[in-house]
Amino acid sequence: MAEEKSVAPATLQDFAPKLAELTDEVLFGDVWERPGLSSRDRSLVTVSVLVALYRTEQLGFHLRRAIENGLTVEELVEAVTHLAFYAGWPNAMTAINQLRAVAEQGQPAP
């Protein structure tokens, strides 16, 4: 990923350069590029886990990425609604509010 823009935030690159490098090269350069699942499917899995584990700090980025990877806002709403019964109502409500904000922004992932 040397020629591509880093996925890791600039603040992470400055403060923890090795973690930024691993994020770019291993997570997004290797794991996300494996042929066993499409990027769309990987996004759905990732969003689902982040909602279930209440990892809200990373959720907005991955909701935007999921839309870039082909999931529709309607599909993400349906996934979060489904997750409400398995991951908990508060988790789903927080996620749906973040998804609404992402949908209203209409911006691609950074």
Domain locations in the chain as residue ranges: 39-105
Q: Which residue has the higher pLDDT, 63 or 1?
A: 63
The pTM of the whole model exceeds 0.95: no
Task: Find the mean pLDDT for residues 42-61.
Answer: 97
Round the average pLDDT of the chain to a whole number and report it: 92
Cβ proximity of 76 and 63 under 8 Å: yes
> CA 25, CA 33: separation in Å to the nearest integer?
10
Residue that is written with structure tokens 């959720």 in the block: 59
Residue that is written with structure tokens 């691993």 in the block: 22
Specify the length of the chain in residues: 110
Give domain 39-105's CATH superfamily: AhpD-like (1.20.1290.10)
